[in-house]
Amino acid sequence: MPILFLDFDGVLHPEHCHESRHFCSLPIMEEALRQVPECRVVITSTWRLEQPYEALIRNFSPDIAAMIEGVNPRYCALTNVPPTLVGYQREAECHAWLWANNMPHHNWVAVDDRSWLYRPFCKSLFLVDGRIGLTQSTCSQLAARLQGLL
């Protein structure tokens, strides 16, 4: 069962776009996730710090919302961050979520537009151009990558 750690801004819509465009790429992401129904999703977006979980999952279609397992913990609340992850906030949060949910050895992919939140050359990072967000082409690549983790 692969885990997909999902950012919103710069992924599900362009970074700094008008709120009328929020989640404009969500149908594309949902199409990719439907190709890998075994996948589980964890929200990594900073939106998780500002909105309740229930409000976050309301943005998704019911079948995709059912795939969402929760949200990453806050970096500032983490204890025992391995020295190799200090300074790589989002990757440290992903690892902490995996350990807290007894899944430290599960395959995972983080879809994000900010490479500096992960270690250089992080093999689990699926980097998106934040100026445009996900496209049909990048989602096809993402679906193939997730299927490869099965």
Q: Model confidence over 29-52: pLDDT tens digits?
A: 999 999 999 999 999 999 999 999
In a domain, 13, yes or no: no
Distance of CA 74 to the CA centre of its chain: 14
Q: What pairs with residue 110 in β-bridges? A: 5, 125
Domain housing 88: 18-109+123-148
Q: What is the pLDDT of residue 28?
A: 94
Q: Which residues, in sequence order, are CB contacts of 106 under 8 Å at separation 6+?
A: 1, 2, 3, 98
Q: Is the pLDDT of residue 77 over 90?
A: no
Edge-to-edge strand ranges of the sheet holding 40-43: 68-71, 40-43, 3-6, 108-112, 125-127
The fraction of the chain above a pLDDT of 90, given in percent, is 86
In a domain, 130, yes or no: yes
Q: How many domains does the chain have?
A: 1
What is the rounded average pLDDT of the residues 8-29?
94
In a domain, 12, yes or no: no
| Buried/exposed code over 73-94 (b: 16+ C-beta within 10 A; e: otherwise) | eeeeebeebeeebeebbbbbbb
Q: What is the pTM of this model?
A: 0.94
Q: Model confidence over 87-134: pLDDT tens digits?
A: 999 999 999 999 999 999 999 999 999 999 999 999 999 999 999 999
In a domain, 3, yes or no: no
Q: Which residues, in sequence order, are CB contacts of 52 under 8 Å at separation 6+?
A: none
Q: What is the pLDDT of residue 52?
A: 95
Structure tokens at 36: 């890998």
In a domain, 49, yes or no: yes
